[in-house]
Structure 1
Amino acid sequence: MVPRGASKGVSPFDLEYEKSRATIHADKQDLNRIVLDYLIIEGYCDAATEFAKEAGIDISVDYQSIEERMLIRQAVEAGRVDEAVRRVNELEPEILDTNASLLFHLQLQSFIELIRHDKTQEALRYASEELAPRGAQNPEFLAELEKTMALLAFPELASFDRLQGDSTDLNEFAEPLASAAASAPPTAKPPPAWSTLGSLMRKEHRTTVAKELNAAILESQGQGQETKLSGLVKLMSWTEEALESKGLPVPGVSASALLTLQGPPRHVLSSAAVPVPSAAEPMVLN
């Protein structure tokens, strides 16, 4: 068997790799459970329910808990941090009481949202009453706090609609930041890099905080914090890198590239069932 995309000059390793891969069989029910695990961990309640039914998997799952966890995650991703905190406290108050770093990151996101909506005075008051005391109690938070507070000095950057402009070149902000740094007193601490400041306003920053909160909720419920599918892809990536370091590149799809792919929009899997292959025989990975 000739590897995909290969024609002439195929190495013996490639031929042996494809020959071995063709003999690997994966039980379809095991694959279905991996998919179901992904849907549960990521909080796709409706899709998980339908998938389990179609796949014939009889498991005991608290779907109400999944739904609540998804609502919390969606609230953070939409910038409604106060709502997310309220829901978490109703679900399990100890999650935030025992995780100072997570609570701090949620508070930082609240501060960012105030700046995003041009509520400068409220942001200053919030920083003074909530963030400053927490930074004083936890010196390890000071670097993040200082970086986020720097947004107040650059209204052009803070008011930029990052949710719609993620593809915009941040170079446009380099000049105002450089100008501000040049006019600052010699003893003033230089501002963070413009790209670092800009990243705080991107939707990916909300997603990062939402994932951290989701993992904490899962841990409190005694569940895994990472999907089995993600773990498998990471293992594949590590294996590929180990082989490539020995001069044995793996043909086919790069697992490392898969790690950077974004999943489908949440509403897609939340409103539709995931199709399940009807064949009962084991799947051949080729």
Structure 2
Amino acid sequence: MSVEWDARLQAVELPKSMVNALVLDWLVNQGHHDAAAAFVRESGTPAGDLDGIAERMSIRQAVEAGRMQAALEALEALHPALLSVDPPNGGSDLQLLFALQQQHFIELVRAGDVAAALTHAQHKLAPLAEAQPALVEPLELTMMLLASADGADSPSAHLLHPSQRRRTATALNAAILRVAGAR
């Protein structure tokens, strides 16, 4: 870090309320309900919606654990617009919807249920790729998981890595926060 940058950084004064709001946002976004509640009590920072943290984190954890059916059912109950191709407010995110359905497909392949995976691809993934041509290539890459017995030898084997679940969970978490009106 340069001396000039350090001097400029030291010259910036942030109001305590702004710093507190940033800390609270981070705690809420990361799902630290108890810490966020304690921070609100101790700092006097206005609390946003702390009640939704547990439900959001439950959905995120289900995705990270590969329990896509449970995640999708919980998401349908809490934020059905995120799963709608044509929601009433017009705020559909086809890429997010594709990522969720792709992850469901991946979990079916991982479980060895090829028939269910193919049915899922036909009924859930293909229509999304048809609606948004940019999703055709990711669909093709996803379908390559079926090219080998366990998917490990596939050019798309990286989709079976736990980091894929985390990416999907992170994107979903951000979308839920956006829908809930978080900062």
TM class by shorter chain equals: 0.7 to 0.9
- TM-score scaled by structure 2? 0.81
Establish whether residue 203 from structure 1 lines up as the match of residue 167 from structure 2: no
User: Which of 38, 52, 62 does residue 50 from structure 1 map onto?
Assistant: 38
Provide Cα deviations, 1:210-240, integer angstroms capped at 9, x if missing partner.
122222222222223xxxxxxxxxxxxxxxx
Shift in Å at residue 29 of structure 1? 4.4
- Within a 5 Å distance, the mapping from 1:111-150 to structure 2 comes to 111-150=105-144
Alpha carbons of structure 1 residues 21 and 82: separation in structure 2 relative to 1, 3 Å: same
Alpha carbons of structure 1 residues 28 and 127: separation in structure 2 relative to 1, 3 Å: same
Q: How many residues align?
A: 176
CA distance, structure 1, for counterparts of residue 167 and residue 142 of structure 2: 15
**What does residue 152 of structure 1 align with?**
146
Letter in 2 for 1:84: A
Q: Which runs of 5+ in 2 are unaligned?
A: 85-91
- In 1, are the aligned partners of 2:59 and 2:74 still within 8 Å (CA)? yes
**What does residue 174 of structure 2 align with?**
215
- The worse-fitting range, judged by mean Cα deviation, of 143-152 and 67-76 is 67-76
Provide Cα deviations, 1:127-182, integer angstroms capped at 9, x if missing partner.
233323433344332111110000111234x2x5xxxxxxxxxxxx5xxx6xxxxx
Q: Which runs of 5+ in 1 are unaligned?
A: 4-13, 161-172, 178-193, 225-286
CA distance, structure 2, for counterparts of residue 22 and residue 146 of structure 1: 51
Provide Cα deviations, 1:244-281, integer angstroms capped at 9, x if missing partner.
xxxxxxxxxxxxxxxxxxxxxxxxxxxxxxxxxxxxxx
4+ residue runs over 6 A deviation: none
- In 2, are the aligned partners of 1:77 and 1:203 still within 8 Å (CA)? yes
Shift in Å at residue 205 of structure 1? 1.3
CA distance, structure 2, for counterparts of residue 38 and residue 116 of structure 1: 33
- In 1, are the aligned partners of 2:105 and 2:121 still within 8 Å (CA)? yes
CA distance, structure 2, for counterparts of residue 90 and residue 203 of structure 1: 26
- In 1, are the aligned partners of 2:63 and 2:169 still within 8 Å (CA)? yes
Q: Percent identity?
A: 38
- TM-score scaled by structure 1? 0.55
Letter in 1 for 2:164: H
Alpha carbons of structure 1 residues 60 and 152: separation in structure 2 relative to 1, 3 Å: same
> Could you say which structure has the greater relative contact order, defined with CA pairs below 8 angstroms and 6 or more residues apart?
1
- Within a 5 Å distance, the mapping from 1:39-78 to structure 2 comes to 39-57=27-45, 59-78=46-65
Provide Cα deviations, 1:107-131, integer angstroms capped at 9, x if missing partner.
1101101111222232223223332
CA distance, structure 1, for counterparts of residue 3 and residue 42 of structure 2: 38
Provide Cα deviations, 1:176-212, integer angstroms capped at 9, x if missing partner.
x6xxxxxxxxxxxxxxxx3xx1321122211221122
Give the RMSD, CA atoms, in angstroms.
2.4
Q: Secondary structure at the match of 2:51?
A: helix
**What does residue 83 of structure 2 align with?**
96
Letter in 2 for 1:71: S
CA distance, structure 2, for counterparts of residue 46 and residue 56 of structure 1: 15
- Within a 5 Å distance, the mapping from 1:1-286 to structure 2 comes to 14-57=2-45, 59-97=46-84, 98-156=92-150, 158=151, 194=155, 197-224=156-183
Shift in Å at residue 43 of structure 1? 2.3
Alpha carbons of structure 1 residues 23 and 64: separation in structure 2 relative to 1, 3 Å: closer
Structure with higher helix content: 2
Provide Cα deviations, 1:59-114, integer angstroms capped at 9, x if missing partner.
24332212111111111111111111111111121222133332221111011011
Alpha carbons of structure 1 residues 17 and 86: separation in structure 2 relative to 1, 3 Å: closer
